[in-house]
Amino acid sequence: MTTASTTPNIEAEAAHFTTTFQTIRDEVGKFIVGQDNIVENVLISICCGGHVLLEGVPGLGKTALVTTLAKALSLDFQRIQFTPDLLPSDVVGTQVLIEKDGHRSLQFQKGPVFCNILLADEINRATPKTQSALLETMQEKHVTVANLTHDIGLPFFVLATQNPIENDGTYALPEAQLDRFFFKLYVTLPNHDDFREILVRTGGTSLPEINPVASGEDILRMGSTMRQVVIDEDVQDYLIRVVRATHPNHEDAPKKVKQYVRNGASPRAAQAILAASRARALLDGRFHVSIEDIRETAIPAMRHRLILSFEGEADGVLPDDIIRSAIKFSLR
Amino acid sequence: MKSQSRFLSALRTRLNIQLALKLGTMVGLIGFLLALVYCLFFILRGYEVARTGYGMILTITALATVIVWVIRRKTIEHAAQFADQHWQLKDVLTTAYHFKKSGKSGRIYQLVQDQAAEHAKQLMGKNPPWDLPKKSGSLAVLLLLVSVGMLWVPASPEVLAQLAKQEMTAERTAEIQHELDEYLKKLEEELNDDEKETLKLNELKKWVKELKKTNNERDALKQFAKLEQKISKNMSALEQRKDEKILKNVAAQLMKAEMTEAKKLGKDLDLKEYKAAAKKLDAMKLSKAEKNKLKDTAKTTKLTEQQKKIAKMREISKRMAHANGKMGKPGQGKQGKMGKAGKMGKGEMGKMGEMAEGGDLEEMLNELDEALEELEEELEEMAMGDEEWDEDEMGAPMGRIDGDLDDLAKKLSKMGARRKARSKLKQMRQGLAQAQSYASGQSQQLNMGGKRAGEGTDPSKRNEKSKANDNGQFAQLSGIKNKGPSNSSIEEADSGTGVSRRRATAKERSYQRQFESFVHRDDIPEDLKSGVREYFKSIHQIPTVENPGSSTEP
């Protein structure tokens, strides 16, 4: 008989998770209108300790969402506007010569990554070298400069935005960096009612006041609670089948994957899906992961991890469609 | 927990019933379609549906349904999965079932079980709607009803007649074979060994044994025709027409004689009682005592009994020899024969016995006559006192006479046996011809060799009349001339091997008529017409050949 190592008050922890999550969402919802799904996924990513890549045309509230979230979470927030001339040292920090008491010495000057929430705005405008500077930071949560490693405090989240239509002067993110992002979310145009609400809220003399409703500790606690959610072996097998089905070399992969995909999703994608599914299960009041959770989280967790083939790019195939076919194909 | 188990068990039962109904419909659809095809297969050909096969199809369908159901029947796990999907429970029942099955414990697992139990409790009493293939089910029922209805469709009159005919053919072929067996058994009892050998009775038995019981009229007729052909072949081998003609002439000559013995012998030969004739010839031989007496009385001028007997024998032999136109003087014949005998080697002398078996009858008769003539001359010379009894001179012709009489008697016996065998074969062949008619239903009575007195009634006529049999007969009666199958077409004889039953004269006449019709035509010159007329007159003039036997009548 297997015994799960759970905290004795799992119900209380689950309740805290749900309450906190809902509180943050409500607080963000004061300013951000009509992006419930985006807000929820961003919050799930944060709970899971993952970074989010937000993609959408300018003006849809990507930056506003991140800043609002940072305010609601009462966390140290930094923003970097990525431009082609941005250097890695501008991101992670650099050694500067400091003269003190007649002595000159090199001192590490922390970059903007030393925060809890980093907004990497228009990340695909910087050169690959600068983009890569974020790699170590995002994965290891520390920075190494001049052979000296500097820890970044937890929690640490990178919320990056990129504009899909501005291809001129942009550099596509390398696969390795894309894989570091927990979710890639598409910010879409709000509907008519939401549009009106945006205008009402932002067109007046005063803006909604965002108060901090959760701390970094709350986020870490929520992450801990979430990991206790159990998953049935069958559901886990389904998750593995879905991820494996995105690989064109896999013999059971759907035809679409074999035709249009060059590289499938990595095991890190499976980890992301599982973590996000657990969060969704808790939010749904369950203590187990269901296949529906897997289906819901598979698309934002894998869409940026699929590398399309030349044919796929030429035919304008969307990764979401490929993932949907893998999900359908892997049904038990 | 209990509510969860009860709910899943109830759901599983319902799912299994649903599965059984679905499978029953789907497998039934296939099975009933097959049953319908099976029924149509019979009905379209005019037959009545064989119910055994129909029953088997339904049984196999039912068995297949049960087997597939057993293989695919739902478990608790299936029920849990179904409930999760149907009521959108997000895998709570399946997960709880798996956790329980794998024995996982802990607070979190307990919470999952509690949630599953709560859902089960809420769903208790709720059932998913029956998901049954209504269209397929209706179609299956329709197919079943139609196929069941087809079971009562009767066979067409033609098929009934055909079946009855097949049955009749099978019965009749068996009956014919039985009759043939009986006939051969009767022959075996009747005939002696020589006759059996001549008849080749064992070969006949073998052929009859090879006959097979069949319901196919064509096969039946074919095998009877084959047997008939074999018998005809055997009959041809027993042909002795030439010898019979000789003996007929001999009989005619003998009947003209004044002697009673000659007349009796002639009568036997005329009636083709060859065995009796052979006995009479055997009785003509001089016994040892008679020969001794002849030796003593040879010198006397008065005719003794023995001399009279020899004279009678001579009279008979002369008539016999000259009946078929013996050429030349008797003395010449004798010399010729003696010369031949002198030249004969030992081996060739041994062939004299063979002559009795299949030798030339005419030659044998001449031989006998010559021997008797020689003996008569010797006796005359002795009576005149010219010569004394010489054992060598007298013994030779007497020995030859005995031998010739023996050979002639043997020849006649053999001919008798062959005649009998031929007669039996002929009877059998006629029986087989009749059997073919009987097997094909053209005749209602099988009369192998004719029935005995008082047995001629057909017992089948006393039985209740079958409609089918009548149908067969009606079909025969209502047939159109020259439109039905010909019996003669079954066997194709090799060209030139058959015996023509049509007389040659008839052909000639038709040929003559044809030519005469040409002759009557106006466009033919008169001289050509008369020429043709004269030609036919000349070829149809029967030559008035005098019977040589009658011309040499003493």
Report the C-alpha gap between B511 and B517 in whole angstroms.
10
What is the distance between the alpha carbons of residues A101 and A95, in angstroms, rounded to a whole number?
A: 18
Residue A88: asked if its preceding bond is cis (omega within 30°), the reply is no
User: How many residue pairs bridge chain A and chain B with CB atoms within 8 Å of each other?
Assistant: 69
| Inter-chain residue contact A4 with B108, CB threshold 8 Å | yes
Backbone angles phi, psi at B349, to 5 degrees: -65, -35
Mean pLDDT over A34-63 rounds to: 86
Per the model's pLDDT, the better-predicted residue between B345 and A176 turns out to be A176
Q: How far is CA A302 from CA A162, A183, A321, B303, in A?
A: 17, 8, 11, 149
Tell me which range, A39-53, A165-179, B353-367, is most confidently predicted by mean pLDDT.
A39-53
Q: How far apart are CA A138 and CA A180, in angstroms?
A: 7
Q: CA B223, CA B211: separation in Å to the nearest integer?
A: 7
pLDDT digits (tens, 9 = 90+) for B88-107: 888 889 999 998 888 888 88
DSSP output for A90-114: HHHEEEEEEEETTEEEEEEEE-TTS
Amino acid letter at B334? K
Interchain CB distance below 8 Å, B98 and A232:
yes
Residues of A in contact with B92 (CB under 8 A): 286, 288, 290
pTM equals 0.59
Residues of B in contact with A292 (CB under 8 A): 90-91
Pairing of strands A157-162, A230-231: unpaired
Mean pLDDT of B489-506: 55
Identify the bridge partners of residue A53 per DSSP, sorted by sequence position. Answer: A160, A184
ipTM strictly over 0.85? no
B92 CB within 8 Å of a chain A CB: yes
**CA nearest to A245, candidates A332, A328, A176:** A328
| pLDDT of B191 higher than 50 | yes
> Could you report the per-residue pLDDT of B328-375, keeping only the tens digit for each?
433 344 444 443 433 333 333 344 444 444 457 778 888 878 887 877
Report the alpha-carbon distance of residue A258 to residue A266 in Å, rounded.
16
Per-residue pLDDT at A280:
93
Q: For B248-260, how does the pLDDT look when each residue is reduced to its tens digit (9 = 90+)?
A: 888 888 888 777 8
Dihedral, CA of residue B525, residue B530, residue B535 and residue B539, to nearest 10: 140
Chain A CB contacts of B83 under 8 Å are none
Most confident of A295-304, B419-428, B541-550: A295-304
Would the pLDDT of B490 be above 90? no
In this prediction, residue B131 has a pLDDT band, given cuts at 50, 70 and 90, of: confident
Q: Best mutation site among A1, A287, A294 for testing chain B: the one with the most B CBs within 10 Å?
A: A287
Tell me what the pLDDT averaged over chain B comes to: 75
CA dist A191 and A188 (Å) reads: 9
pLDDT of B387 reads 62
A118, pLDDT greater than 50: yes
Contact across the interface for B107 and A8, Cβ inside 8 Å: yes
Distance between CA atoms of B286 and A130, rounded to whole angstroms? 154
- CB within 8 Å: A287 and B108: yes
pLDDT at B498: 57
pLDDT, position B450: 53
Q: Are B263 and B312 in contact (CB under 8 A)?
A: no
Q: State residue A274's pLDDT score.
A: 94
State whether B106 and A3 contact (CB < 8 Å): yes
* Residue of chain B whose Cα is closest to the Cα of A7: B107
CA distances to A263, B161, B170, B220, B437 from B469, in Å: 84, 7, 13, 18, 15
- Neighbouring CB atoms inside 10 A of B249's CB total 22
Token digits for B168?
């009749």
Rounded mean pLDDT of A272-296?
92
A304-A310-A315 Cα angle (round to 5): 85
Q: Could you tell me the pLDDT band of residue A277, with boundaries at 50, 70 and 90?
A: very high
Give the DSSP H or E segment for A183: strand A181-186
Nearest to B108 among A1, A230, A292 (CB): A230
Distance CA A273, CA A182 (A): 9
CB contact (8 A) between residue B99 and residue A286: no
pLDDT tier, A275 (very low <50, low <70, confident <90, very high otherwise): very high
Q: What percent of chain A has pLDDT over 90?
A: 20
Percent of chain A with pLDDT over 70: 95
Which B-chain residues 110-169 have CB contacts (< 8 A) with chain A? 111-112, 115
Starting at the earlier edge strand, list the strands of the sheet with A157-162: A77-81, A117-121, A157-162, A51-55, A181-186
B425 vs B301, more confident: B425
Q: Do B106 and A293 touch (CB under 8 A)?
A: no
Tell me, what's the pLDDT at B335?
41
Query: Which chain B residues are closer than 8 Å to A15 by Cβ?
Result: none
Summarised one tens digit per residue, pLDDT across range B217-226 is: 888 888 888 8
**Which positions 411-470 of B are in contact with A (Cβ < 8 Å)?**
none
Please list the residues that pair with A55 across neighbouring strands. Answer: A162, A186
Q: State the pLDDT confidence band at B481, using cuts at 50, 70 and 90.
A: low
Which chain B residues touch A287 with a CB distance below 8 Å?
Answer: 108, 111-112, 115
Cα–Cα distances in angstroms (integers) from residue B538 to residues B105, B512, B534, B535, B542, in the given order: 132, 12, 6, 5, 9
Which range is least confidently modeled, A2-6, B27-31, B126-130? Answer: A2-6
- Contacts B90 to A, Cβ<8 Å: 284, 286, 290-293
**What is the reported pLDDT for B172?**
81
Task: For B258-271, write each residue's pLDDT tens digit.
Answer: 778 788 888 888 88
Please tell me the number of Cα atoms within 13 Å of B143 on its side-chain side. Answer: 22
Q: Could you tell me which of A95, A138, A132, A140 has the C-alpha nearest to residue A113?
A: A138
